[in-house]
């Protein structure tokens, strides 16, 4: 049986490595990864070390690789991006998050290859306009992200929709607006790790956990809410899209339920069998103007497209992350 080749950009990263693992478990597929691994001590290479990756290419060599291996590629799953919401170099963000996405989208369209990409709930800005994944150009153009990262993702989403309307899209094109993803393989993300990963050392050591105070009237400290989704649910949803092949569009991907940071921290303590110990600290001034106090993904459009699998509850996902990974000697999937 001839194997089918899938390219996962950002495939050694947090979400990308789970997608690579999910696809590599299928004996009919071969998975090639494009990424940068950095210093060995970061541990990013470990995100891939348990999985049979067929090929690895650095971002600088991607064009040449596509020239030699592109004829065998069935689909590009594009997770590669600068995901830091505090990255100061906007040119760097735009070149990576928009420029590379635009070029890969065009390559897939020219060669008849399928394209699935990572968008973000950061495109919705402060959420004042809601979180409806309306794919019309008018709705996308009306979004007001709070930072360059969110803007770069919104810019590409709009570009993809416009190209699709012009008849210049790949045979399958699907963007997923990820909400707050947490889970194994995020250790290399440093300050951009999930709150679960950040507070785990304190929980494990029996120390008090620190959460940000609220700076909005009517919202208590710790009551800021996000839509937290476990990374395995994300990987399974992406794999479903790949295997379906006939579903195109722009979709939210969250659990569909907003939960507070207090709920999240409490779930980590419970998973560790400890009584919660939480205090609230000042939020850095540079974050206050771009802080989202509420996110929740309406999932009707993705469900209507045919994805019916249940998502883990916050408590289920955190318990699996803590007991299966963070509390173990080998926290990598």
Q: Could you give the residue numbers annotated as active site? A: 149, 189
Which residues face 33 on adjacent strands?
A: 8, 56
Q: Is the dihedral of CA 107, 110, 114, 115 positive or negative?
A: positive
Of residues 290, 226, 291, 286, the one with CA closest to residue 260: 226
Total Cβ atoms within 10 A of residue 41: 7
Q: What is 2-20 written as a DSSP string?
A: PPEEEEEETTTSHHHHHHH
- Both tokens of 283, joined, read 């939020």
Letter string b/e over residues 312-329, b meaning 16 or more CB atoms within 10 A of that residue's CB: bebeebbbbbbeebbeee
Burial of 227 (0-12, 13-18, 19+ CB in 10 A): buried
């Amino acid at each position: 049986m001839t194997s089918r080749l899938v390219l996962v950009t950002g495939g050694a990263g947090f979400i990308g490595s789970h997608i690579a693992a999910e696809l590599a478990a299928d004996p009919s597929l071969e998975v090639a990864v494009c990424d940068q691994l950095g210093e060995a001590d970061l541990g990013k290479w470990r995100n891939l070390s348990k999985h049979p990756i067929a090929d690895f290419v650095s971002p600088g060599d991607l064009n040449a690789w596509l020239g030699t291996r592109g004829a065998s590629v069935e689909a590009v799953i594009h997770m590669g991006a600068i995901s830091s919401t505090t990255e100061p170099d906007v040119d760097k963000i735009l070149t990576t998050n928009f420029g590379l996405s635009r070029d890969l989208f065009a390559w897939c369209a020219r060669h008849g290859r399928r394209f699935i990409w990572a968008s973000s709930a950061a495109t919705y800005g402060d959420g004042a306009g809601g979180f409806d994944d309306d794919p019309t150009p008018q709705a996308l153009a009306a979004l007001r992200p709070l930072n360059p990262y969110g803007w770069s993702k919104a810019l590409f989403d709009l570009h993809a929709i416009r190209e699709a309307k012009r008849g210049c899209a790949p045979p399958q094109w699907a963007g997923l607006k990820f909400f707050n993803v947490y889970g194994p393989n995020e250790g290399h993300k440093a300050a951009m790790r999930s709150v679960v990963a950040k507070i785990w050392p304190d929980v494990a050591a029996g120390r008090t956990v620190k959460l940000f105070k609220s700076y909005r009237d009517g919202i208590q400290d710790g009551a800021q809410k996000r839509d937290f989704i476990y990374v395995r649910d994300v990987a399974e949803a992406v794999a479903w899209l790949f295997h379906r092949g006939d579903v195109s569009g722009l979709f939210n991907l969250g659990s569909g339920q907003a939960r507070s940071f207090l709920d999240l921290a409490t779930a980590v303590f419970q998973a560790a069998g400890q009584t919660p110990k939480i205090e609230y600290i000042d939020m850095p001034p540079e974050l206050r103007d771009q802080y989202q106090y509420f996110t929740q993904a309406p999932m009707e459009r993705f469900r209507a497209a045919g994805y019916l699998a249940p998502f883990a509850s916050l408590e289920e996902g955190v318990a699996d992350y803590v007991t299966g990974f963070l509390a173990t000697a080998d926290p990598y999937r």
